[in-house]
Amino acid sequence: MSGPTPDTPQARAPIESKDQLIGYLASGSKPKSEWRIGTEHEKFPFLTDTLEPVPYAGPRSIRALLEGLRDRFGWEGVYEGDNIIALADPKSLANISLEPGGQFELSGAPLETVHDTCAEVNEHIGQVREVGDQLGIGFLGLGASPKWTRAETPIMPKGRYNIMAPYMDRVGRYGRDMMFRTCTVQVNLDFGSEADMVKKLRVSVALQPVATALFANSPFLEGKPNGYLSFRSEVWTDTDKARSGMLPFAFEPGMGFERYVDFALDVPMYFIMRDGKFLNTAGESFRKFLAGKLPQLPGEKPTMKDWADHLTTIFPEVRLKKYLEMRGCDSGPTRRLCALPALFTGLLYDDEALEGGWQLVKDWTAEERQALRDAVPKRALNAMIRGRSVRDISRDVLELARGGLMRRNALGCKAKSETQYLDVLDETVSSGKTAAENLLALYHGPWHGNIDRVFRDFAY
């Protein structure tokens, strides 16, 4: 699995043809022995005494968290101007970054097994808790901010957000909610060839709503139920339709790297970077940029770094870069952060499981896939497709994933299989209740409508 595109002379060389863009994606193909697992997750920091969001600056702040992690655990600071905005580990390729509202994100290293990536998650949670405890800062894993209004949510000092937020207001209702009030967990996985990428992309896109239902964990907003089990998933239905969604073209004949490049070329841009500063290109076409017709830089051609940056601003349910990113799930407690890589590693890294997944979804139409995706934010496991509930389909999916993990036979501590990380999802399917529904039962029961209890009972 590839890390960020390095800022090298090659990455800064002008792109002369679309073939180079296709080649960039194709260069992600690698033999199965080199396939890795990268887990990312976000969480909400909060002040433990007041339950308010954590500001960027001050003695109890995001800056203090980043500096504490840097000084105590050997991370390298990443700066924008004078502001520390991220942490990096050049050896492992892991990094810690900030989402617009201060959501704290670990982008994990590319690792060999689910055991490794789960250990990394637990180590990271231990580090942020150690630093956070001294600052009076806690961390909450939910898909959506349960208490704070947009106005109460701080804005991190990253230049790209000053461009993205106003543009979001023009293209959808939920753009600022997506930016400032949601958290996700995702897993990034490799492919072996163009054909392998296409099959994995199709299976994972079709099954992303099933994963969304299994991980639904965002039933609150501004202190009360919001009417959804995964509000974070609902947010994506009206954030920016030009850059999000279920990629119906991926299921059409001729799908491959070039077809995704053509899609990406027409996704409106947000920005480009020049001399360390963000240049606002919101709404412009990368296709025009490739032709040297970008109004902000007339006659100038993009670089591979520009292309890599642009690909990160596209937000479908599954995103193609030099690997595939599963983007459909709410953040949650540690067990669920480990369950997501187990689910998709089992499904996509074993040929038999992948074929089983394809047989499960291959006859679904684009309209049926979209209807399922639209139903899941409210109905989760009770959503239906072709007369079957997501709960029922989840049993098949988990059986396929478990079989794939068993055949991988990657044993961890005490010779335990990677299948152990699926147990929490088996419990969800067995009970028929998502994490969101369990939270709602607490809210309407023992919590007596007091949303503050979620911080005490579910902080890491």
Answer whether 52's CB lies under 8 Å from 102's CB.
Answer: no
In the predicted model, is pLDDT for residue 41 greater than 90?
yes
- pLDDT for residue 459: 97
- pLDDT for residue 1: 46
If pLDDT is split at 50, 70 and 90, which confidence band does 5 have? low
Q: Which amino acid is at 426?
A: D
- pLDDT for residue 165: 93
Measure the CA–CA gap between 332 and 436, rounded to whole angstroms.
10
- Of the candidates 350, 348, 340, the residue with the CA atom closest to the CA atom of residue 422: 340
- Of the candidates 299, 198, 210, 336, the residue with the CA atom closest to the CA atom of residue 258: 198
pTM above 0.85, yes or no: yes
- Give the strand pairing for 244-245 and 315-316: parallel
Domains and CATH numbers, the chain: 18-458 (3.30.590.20)
If pLDDT is split at 50, 70 and 90, which confidence band does 92 have? confident
- Tell me the C-alpha to C-alpha distance, in Å, between residue 367 and each of 159, 237, 251, 374: 38, 15, 12, 10
Measure the CA–CA gap between 211 and 216, rounded to whole angstroms.
8
DSSP single-letter state for residue 173: S
DSSP 116-154: HHHHHHHHHHHHHHHHHHHHTEEEE--SB-SS--TTTS-
- Of the candidates 119, 101, 123, 122, the residue with the CA atom closest to the CA atom of residue 44: 101
Which whole number is the average pLDDT over 60-83? 97
- pLDDT for residue 10: 67
**Residue percentage of the chain with pLDDT more than 90:** 93
Which whole number is the average pLDDT over 70-89? 96
pLDDT in tens, 316-346: 999 999 999 999 999 999 999 999 999 999 9
For the chain, the average pLDDT equals: 96
Q: Is 72 helix (H, G, I), strand (E, B) or coil?
A: helix
- Of the candidates 116, 232, 139, 148, the residue with the CA atom closest to the CA atom of residue 185: 232
- pLDDT for residue 415: 81
In the predicted model, is pLDDT for residue 2 greater than 50?
no
In the predicted model, is pLDDT for residue 398 greater than 90?
yes
The sign one gets for the Cα dihedral 412, 417, 423, 429 is positive
Measure the CA–CA gap between 258 and 252, rounded to whole angstroms.
13
- Show Cβ contacts of residue 370 under 8 Å, excluding neighbours closer than 6 positions: 246, 248
pLDDT in tens, 349-369: 999 999 999 999 999 999 999
pLDDT in tens, 425-460: 999 999 999 999 999 999 999 999 999 999 999 999
Measure the CA–CA gap between 377 and 364, rounded to whole angstroms.
19
Q: Which residues pair with 230 in a beta bridge?
A: 218
In the predicted model, is pLDDT for residue 207 greater than 90?
yes
CA–CA–CA angle 289, 168, 80 (5° rounding)? 70
Measure the CA–CA gap between 434 and 428, rounded to whole angstroms.
6
In the predicted model, is pLDDT for residue 3 greater than 60?
no
Answer whether 401's CB lies under 8 Å from 417's CB.
Answer: no
Which whole number is the average pLDDT over 146-166? 95
